[in-house]
Structure 1
Amino acid sequence: MDDNGDMRHADVEPSITVENPLVRYDEPIRAALQELSRKSRSSGRFEAGHVLPAPGEDLTRFFAASDIAITDLGEYAGHRLRLLDLMRNERTRTTKTFASRLIVARAVEHIRRTGERMMIVSPSSGNKATALRDAVSAAHETGLATPEELAILVVVPTASRAKLWSSPLASDVQARVRNPVAVYHGARRDEVKTLAAGLVDGFGTEMYRRFGVRLWYTLDLDNYRVADIVRAFVEQDYLPPAKERLHAHAVSSAFGLLGHALGARRLAEEGHGESTARYFLVQHLDTPDMVLSLYFGSTSRRSLPTYTLDHANGFYRQDTDPRFPLTTFALDEILDSTFYTRQPATSAEMNALIRSQGGGGIVVSRHECLQRYSALREVLQPAGCILPTVPDDLREWSLVMALTGVLNGIDRGLVSETDILVHGSGSYQVTDFTPVPDAHLKTVESIEDLAKVAADAAEGKSV
């Protein structure tokens, strides 16, 4: 660290790229899937099996989008920071690639085993939709499944439609018909989960009877956790051992950190020693539920500190609780619509992990991210993560949020660990993608609306 408290790059380690970890760690992934299969309890919904296709050239090419990189970002106030880059797929730029490829691979195995058609159904705040659609498209491209066999329907809140990446599923007319994107205009963004679950529960049997299409609702913790075990395996194989390594992540439900914890547990069972991982949650003011739950045992916003408007500078300010923004433009600010889950079911499990192993959490604001923005642009360049010159051109703030949270936590005495691994779960800008055109989106207001979209897609109707 220099005299101004900036990050120092002396003696940094070279960047490491781990190619195709979904293939490299094939055996532990299959074992984890089987463990989850034994423990899973039936919800009454259809679910594809927990089996992947047999290894082969086509599956290797399909999983090739799963590279992970590790880059030393230097030191800050005596803390060594590294980036775990989970954003290497240029068709998504987010960590959702890993789970999406495994989900689609499981769908492929079911189709091959039964001959049944399948439509994946997923609610999303944007990134899961893009990654699942990319995985379905990749399955078509690699010949794992045909467009007639495998399709996908996603439903997103209107606030997230600008985050949806176009792809062959949107540019090709017939693919667009079979793989619709539905947009919900309701006030509560997370209501898209209710719509998608309601479609599968209320119309799944009818869809199979009429069209021979299975609807698979894939938004389940285990479907994502199993993919993220590769984070722990990569850490074990490519990073030096650490007694107290802090894993920092911008989270909505913390699926990624729970996946890392599962991987660390499986490594311990293989004789690598008990996990010493500590976990640090970073959130924003619109949905700070996991941080609130961790520290106050409730997601009630009554536990937020009291802010006063600083008329001279034009933002709100507080100085009573360092775990929340000291300055913000709005008290319910939506820094990024990616983070939209309220009262996540994962809070209890994450709280227990942090209380037993260590860690913490912090909430950040756009104003705080902007204060760090220019420094982060410079720090991230060696990792190949290019932030746009103009912050308004950034469309995914996860990485900036995570780093801002870590640096704020260090400055405020919330982070004691000197070895910090920042999980880079998402970062992209306007020049990285073309959004799905509004004309290609289907507006829905109810489960019945969504059911009609699904039926039209299964039948191949364009109107």
Structure 2
Amino acid sequence: MVLDNALVQYYDEIRATLRDLLGDRDDNDTDGFTPGVELPELTPAMREYLSVSALGHVGMPSYRGRRLALLDLTRNPATMTTKTFASLVIVARAIRFIQDTGRRVTIVTPSSANKAIAMRDAVLRAIRTGLVDADRLNVVTVVPEGSVAKLRSSELFTDPALRARNPIAVYGGEAPGTVKTIALGLAEQFRGQVEKEGETNLWYTLQLENYLAADVVRALAEAELFPSAPDEARLHVHAVSSAYGLLGHAYGRSRLPEDVRARTLPPRYLLVQHLGAPDMVLSLYNDGSTDTANLPAYALDAETGLYAQGADPHYPATTFDPGETLDPTFYTRNPPTSPRMNEIIHSQGGAGIVVSLAECLSRYGQVRAMLGAAGVQLPANPTELREWSLTMAVTGVLNAVDRGLVTETDILVHGSGSYTARDYGHLTVRDLHPVEDAEDLKNVVLKATSSS
């Protein structure tokens, strides 16, 4: 089953969600500018703009008596991640504001890469479809240097004017999450200067509600098109950094009519993380603490060259490095969403598991075959994989089943991202704008806003 344009299908519900989440506090983003909560009317141009918001639901091969299915959220070829949905809705709000007022908007967002890619694609689509002029809307993204290999070339880069208006800033420090501090610092310290000198409205978009409003489509589509059996709880599996997608699904379910909710049992959630940022799993099993002292101790096995542990099945049994970063997409430490996710899992059911690169590689052929049967092609050579989210999620649920961490028979894997080195044109650090702090980013933004 493929739903070709989920955002159009559930446009009225998304509008209502935005109004309920943000309608009475639309200046909540760092006490600064937001464009309001209204979306444009569904003109032919708007439908075309949203046309990449397809989602798919397809069965996967069963595993040890479990029925697995894939919720494919990666069908936009320009991003190949679920970030498309929220980015399209965020930019749509800016489109409506510009159409109503004629005033300019500059979106600033930190990202580990995928959100930046999707936001840039949404801005480009807004311009291409004629919904806004290129000098009215632009986006400035800031990403960690370790994520540059994920960045994609597009017309925002190859067109000189669009490239000047929509720069990518890169932070080269040791803590990737500092990009959030830098972007927030820009909004808090230099908003007035940027808005006055750049003659624009600066919108810092990293707010949970901005993402919940789009991710509700997961629950809406599920309830309408592929609901679970009435007497069987469904386990939803997701590779997460802050679990925005699962929180969006949970919120979407809460908005369903009561009689619709009553037809199925409450969903259960399996969080999948990696050793470089395991904070949500740590929090889940340690009363909210993300202290890495609670990780199991690993010992080097001289014969295999792997580090191993057998004390806690929620963490990798083997790893090449106890501190490895499997995928820089997952970089958030101490996410503020952990308490809410803990509450949902403790009350409704679910679990958390951390996977390693060694485990993903040991299962790679199996995972590749299972996803291939569901229409998702992984490369034969795993070194070509640039986005490990989906591979992590499938590896995590297979490990969880083997270790007895999950008991559910009905399992839905949220396919939030998967792409290879061959799927896009690459950028390099030399093509981008280095920044070390908020003042550096301010200079990048001012240069961008003065380029038109």
Where 2:238 maps in the other structure, the secondary structure is strand
Report the TM-score, using the length of structure 1 for normalisation. 0.94
251-260 vs 212-221, which moves further: 212-221
Distance 1:358 1:268, change over 3 A: farther
CA deviation vs aligned residue, 1:31-75 (integer Å, no higher than 9, x gap)? 101101245473311112111001111111011001001110021
Aligned to 1:4: none
TM-superposed deviation, 1:27: 1.2
Contact 2:223-2:260 within 8 A present in 1 as well: no
Aligned to 1:279: 269
Report 1:48-197 matches (<5 A): 48-197=35-184
Contact 2:177-2:331 within 8 A present in 1 as well: yes
CA deviation vs aligned residue, 1:261-290 (integer Å, no higher than 9, x gap)? 011000144743276100110000010000
Aligned to 2:394: 403
| Distance in 1 of aligned mates of 2:65 and 2:336 | 36
Q: 2:419 aligns with which of 420, 428, 432?
A: 428
| Distance in 1 of aligned mates of 2:69 and 2:78 | 24
Q: 1:291 aligns with which of 281, 285, 304?
A: 281
Say whether 1:266 aligns with 2:226: no
Contact 1:264-1:275 within 8 A present in 2 as well: no
Where 1:128 maps in the other structure, the secondary structure is helix
| Distance in 2 of aligned mates of 1:32 and 1:347 | 22
Q: 2:20 aligns with which of 18, 35, 54?
A: 35
Q: Which 4+ runs in 1 deviate beyond 3 A?
A: 38-41, 268-272
Point out where structure 2 has 5 or more consecutive residues left out of the alignment: none
Q: Which amino acid aligns with 1:301?
A: T
Report 1:361-400 matches (<5 A): 361-400=352-391
428-437 vs 286-295, which moves further: 428-437
Q: Which amino acid aligns with 1:413?
A: G
Distance 1:240 1:224, change over 3 A: closer
Aligned to 1:220: 207
Q: Which amino acid aligns with 1:247?
A: H
Where 1:74 maps in the other structure, the secondary structure is coil
Where 2:93 maps in the other structure, the secondary structure is helix
Say whether 1:335 aligns with 2:326: yes
Aligned to 2:9: 24
193-202 vs 79-88, which moves further: 193-202
TM-superposed deviation, 1:205: 1.4
Aligned to 1:308: 299
Q: Which amino acid aligns with 1:123?
A: P
Contact 1:170-1:436 within 8 A present in 2 as well: no
253-262 vs 442-451, which moves further: 442-451
Q: Which amino acid aligns with 2:4?
A: E
Q: Which amino acid aligns with 2:10?
A: Y
207-216 vs 189-198, which moves further: 207-216
Contact 1:176-1:440 within 8 A present in 2 as well: no
Distance 1:275 1:166, change over 3 A: farther
Aligned to 2:351: 360
Aligned to 1:459: 450
CA deviation vs aligned residue, 1:307-346 (integer Å, no higher than 9, x gap)? 1101100110011110000000001110000000000000
| Distance in 2 of aligned mates of 1:357 and 1:187 | 37
Distance 1:271 1:393, change over 3 A: closer
Contact 1:86-1:425 within 8 A present in 2 as well: yes
| Distance in 2 of aligned mates of 1:456 and 1:445 | 17
Aligned to 1:256: 245
Q: Which amino acid aligns with 1:339?
A: F
Q: Which amino acid aligns with 1:292?
A: L
| Distance in 1 of aligned mates of 2:221 and 2:178 | 35
| Distance in 1 of aligned mates of 2:259 and 2:336 | 29
| Distance in 1 of aligned mates of 2:430 and 2:153 | 12
Percent identical among aligned pairs is 50
Report the TM-score, using the length of structure 2 for normalisation. 0.97
| Distance in 1 of aligned mates of 2:228 and 2:404 | 24
Where 1:193 maps in the other structure, the secondary structure is helix
CA deviation vs aligned residue, 1:401-457 (integer Å, no higher than 9, x gap)? 000000000000001000000000000001101122433200011111111100000
Say whether 1:208 aligns with 2:195: yes
Contact 1:327-1:365 within 8 A present in 2 as well: yes
Q: Which amino acid aligns with 1:22?
A: L
| Distance in 2 of aligned mates of 1:270 and 1:131 | 35
| Distance in 2 of aligned mates of 1:282 and 1:204 | 37
Where 2:87 maps in the other structure, the secondary structure is helix
| Distance in 2 of aligned mates of 1:132 and 1:319 | 42
Contact 2:73-2:414 within 8 A present in 1 as well: yes
Distance 1:271 1:240, change over 3 A: closer
Contact 1:17-1:67 within 8 A present in 2 as well: yes
Report 1:445-456 matches (<5 A): 445-456=436-447
| Distance in 2 of aligned mates of 1:440 and 1:223 | 30
| Distance in 2 of aligned mates of 1:257 and 1:61 | 27
Where 1:338 maps in the other structure, the secondary structure is coil
TM-superposed deviation, 1:234: 1.1
| Distance in 2 of aligned mates of 1:98 and 1:26 | 12
Where 1:104 maps in the other structure, the secondary structure is helix
381-390 vs 422-431, which moves further: 381-390
Q: Which amino acid aligns with 2:447?
A: D
Contact 1:170-1:440 within 8 A present in 2 as well: no
CA deviation vs aligned residue, 1:371-407 (integer Å, no higher than 9, x gap)? 1101111111133211111111100000000000000
| Distance in 2 of aligned mates of 1:192 and 1:275 | 39
